[in-house]
Amino acid sequence: MRDTAVNDARVPNAAATNSAVTGAAAANTAVAGAAATNTAVTDLDARYGRSPQTARRNRVIGFVTAGAFAIVFGAWLLWAGLLQTPAQLEVRDTGFLIRDDRAISVRWEVSTDPGNEVTCAVQALNSSFGIVGWRIVEIPQSDQRTRVLTETLRTSELAVTGLIYRCWLT
């Protein structure tokens, strides 16, 4: 029994020694793990070319590219928007006259800068809003800013209205 007591007495000391060794080993492992992680990160950085110089160079390239884009875009805005005055075109329906079951006259007003040629699409509609007459009218240059025009359209059936569909500069 005596041997058992001696062995029992040694067991707690051995356990304390083992836990102390285990704690020291864990601390060494944590330090080694952190060093291994840092080593692994630096190995990956080296493998893929990541370094502070590369990051700085990429940042400079990004800023230079963004600056160049901003300068080109600003120059385009200045050229396209501010330096050129856009041509003005205004169109207004002023009326229509039903001639008979197969014809309608459409009257409209066109306002544009003198010297511009204009083309207009004139249409006639029936009671169901279906197109029953259509014509493209080319308006030559003029010295007048505003002109009143009338165009007679042939229709496929009775038209109840006539109007300008769209006009554009040519």
Cβ neighbours around 124 below 10 Å, total:
28
- What are the residue boundaries of the structural domains of the chain, listed by start? 2-82, 89-169
Q: Which of 84, 116, 105 is nearest to 149 (CA)?
A: 105
pLDDT score recorded for residue 3: 52
pTM: 0.52
Q: Which residue has the higher pLDDT, 85 or 137?
A: 137
Question: Could you give the CA distance from residue 96 to residue 150 in angstroms, rounded to a whole number?
Answer: 9
pLDDT score recorded for residue 42: 76
Going 120 to 124 to 127 to 130, the CA torsion angle's sign is negative
* Contact (Cβ atoms closer than 8 angstroms) between residue 139 and residue 118: yes
pLDDT score recorded for residue 106: 97
**What does DSSP say about strands 118-125 and 131-139: parallel, antiparallel, or unpaired?**
antiparallel
Question: Could you give the CA distance from residue 23 to residue 17 in angstroms, rounded to a whole number?
Answer: 10
Pick the CATH number of 89-169 from 1.10.1060, 3.40.630, 2.40.160, 2.60.40: 2.60.40
Per residue in 22-73, pLDDT tens? 554 554 555 555 555 667 667 887 788 788 888 899 999 999 999 999 999 9
Q: Which residue has the higher pLDDT, 78 or 33?
A: 78
pLDDT score recorded for residue 78: 82
